[in-house]
């Protein structure tokens, strides 16, 4: 039976490192890393995500600035706020919580964020950098998966990886990041014919489709590493991933639980990116001096 990868434990280790890095920056440079979070409208799930991110910041000593805008906010007002945050030296990371209301031009919003403060990694510049392998900021969820694999000592190089899900925030960047680490990567999605034919060949299977029970034991190779990114709330309120955890645990060598697997890593990598941004600024100031 598979080893359960404890995402909370790995996240705790990295968050402790984060606290140390924040302290060191404060002592050496008098810099306190700052994250600005923009929340548009009253979506309850988004409000929960934002609250978790702010709490996580506070726990490691990152300054957080929350900007709550009305559902009806105009594009120009939102873009104006981002431009002010771009110019604000106390802000090292800017995050616009998605989804945005339909009347907002999301592409324009993401491209207005300075790439050097784009800690979510969604700006076209950072997406392009991901393609060429010169990462500026990696998107937090796939970055968290990479860190989980590293902490478990799982070798990626040369492995056959299958990523199920091809979204811009999880599946596609996940595939690119593993390709950059010399895995052989296939990407599957909703239109893939005979999903099992692909998944059965995977040494490492990463699932981010948002479909509970999508991956069952017969679809998984014996000894595979299975990373379940899915977060689905069932009718009874229970949170499950995309993988049949009980069945697949009998075949896999490693598996992430939901909750307690990839989830805690996502917010952790946001903290890492924000601190990294502040550290880069400090390094630039030293070079200039």
Beta strand pairing call for 204-207 and 160-164: parallel
Q: Considering the complex, what minimum distance in angstroms separates the CB of residue 70 from ligand NAD?
A: 25
Helix or strand holding residue 275 (H, E): helix 263-288
* Closer residue to ligand NAD in complex, CB, 172/282: 172
Instruction: Clarify whether 76 is annotated catalytic.
Output: no
- The torsion defined by the Cα of 243, 248, 253 and 259, in degrees rounded to 10, comes to 40
User: Considering only 15-23, 105-113, 114-122, 162-170, which stretch makes contact with ligand NAD by CB under 6 A?
Assistant: 162-170
**How many of the chain's residues bind ligand NAD (CB under 6 A)?**
25
DSSP 287: H
148 interacts with ligand NAD by CB under 6 A:
no
Q: Which of residues 164-193 bind ligand NAD (CB under 6 A)?
A: 164-167, 169-171, 188-190, 192
CA nearest to 262, candidates 135, 165, 137: 165
Quote the DSSP letter at residue 60.
H
State in angstroms the smallest separation of the CB of 264 from ligand NAD. Answer: 8
DSSP 8-state secondary structure symbol assigned to residue 2: P
* Residues in the annotated binding site for NADP(+): 165-167, 231
Cα gap 120→134, rounded to integer Å: 16
| Residue selected from 185, 231, 272, 278 as contacting ligand NAD according to rule CB under 6 A | 231
- Quick check: is 197 catalytic? no
Q: Considering beta carbons, is residue 116 or 199 the nearer one to ligand NAD? A: 199
Q: Which C-beta is closer to ligand NAD: that of 73 or that of 214? A: 214
Q: Which two tokens stand for residue 101?
A: 């209301």
Q: Which of 241, 251, 253, 194 is nearest to 217 (CA)?
A: 251
Q: Which of residues 127-146 bind ligand NAD (CB under 6 A)?
A: 141
For residues 119 and 113, the answer to whether their CB atoms sit within 8 Å is no
Catalytic-residue membership of 194: no
Min. distance of Cβ 39 from ligand NAD in angstroms?
Answer: 17
Q: Which is nearer to ligand NAD, 4 or 29 (CB)?
A: 4
- Can you tell me whether residue 207 is helix, strand or coil? strand
Examine residue 214 and tell whether it contacts ligand NAD (CB under 6 A). yes
Least distance (Å) between residue 277 CB and ligand NAD: 20
Catalytic residue (choose from 53, 147, 172, 221): 53
Which residue is it, tokens 């060949």? 201
Summary count for the chain: helices (H), strands (E): 10, 11
Q: How many CB atoms lie within 10 A of CB 157?
A: 9
Count Cβ atoms below 10 Å from residue 280 Cβ, excluding itself.
Answer: 13
Least distance from ligand NAD to the Cβ atom of residue 287, Å = 35
**Active-site residues: which are they?**
53, 97, 120
Binding residues for ligand NAD, per CB under 6 A?
141, 164-167, 169-171, 188-190, 192, 195, 208-211, 214, 229-232, 262-263, 266
């Amino acid at each position: 039976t598979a080893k359960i990868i404890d995402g909370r434990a790995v996240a705790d280790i990295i968050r402790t490192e984060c606290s140390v890095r924040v302290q060191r920056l404060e002592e050496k440079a008098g810099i306190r890393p700052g994250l600005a979070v923009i929340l548009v409208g009253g979506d309850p799930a988004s409000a929960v995500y934002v609250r978790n991110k702010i709490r996580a910041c506070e726990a490691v000593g990152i300054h957080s600035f929350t900007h709550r805008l009305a559902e009806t906010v105009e594009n120009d007002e939102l873009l104006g706020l981002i431009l002010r945050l771009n110019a604000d030296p106390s802000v090292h990371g800017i995050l616009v919580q998605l989804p945005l209301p339909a009347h907002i031009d999301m592409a324009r919003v993401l491209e207005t964020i300075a790439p050097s403060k784009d800690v979510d990694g969604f700006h076209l510049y950072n997406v392009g950098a991901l393609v060429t392998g010169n990462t500026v900021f990696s998107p937090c969820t796939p970055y968290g998966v990479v860190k989980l694999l590293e902490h478990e000592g799982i070798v990626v190089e040369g492995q056959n990886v299958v990523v199920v899900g091809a979204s811009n925030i999880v599946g596609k960047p996940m595939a690119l990041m593993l390709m950059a680490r010399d895995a052989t990567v296939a990407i599957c999605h909703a239109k893939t014919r005979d999903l099992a034919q692909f998944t059965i060949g995977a040494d490492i299977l990463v699932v981010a489709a948002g479909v509970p029970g999508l991956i069952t034991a017969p679809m998984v190779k014996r000894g595979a590493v299975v990373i379940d990114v899915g977060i689905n709330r069932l009718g009874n309120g229970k949170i499950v991933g995309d993988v049949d955890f009980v069945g697949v645990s009998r075949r896999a060598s490693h598996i992430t639980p939901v909750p307690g697997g990839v989830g805690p890593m996502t917010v952790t990598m946001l903290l890492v990116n924000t601190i990294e941004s502040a550290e880069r600024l400090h390094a630039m100031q030293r070079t200039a001096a």
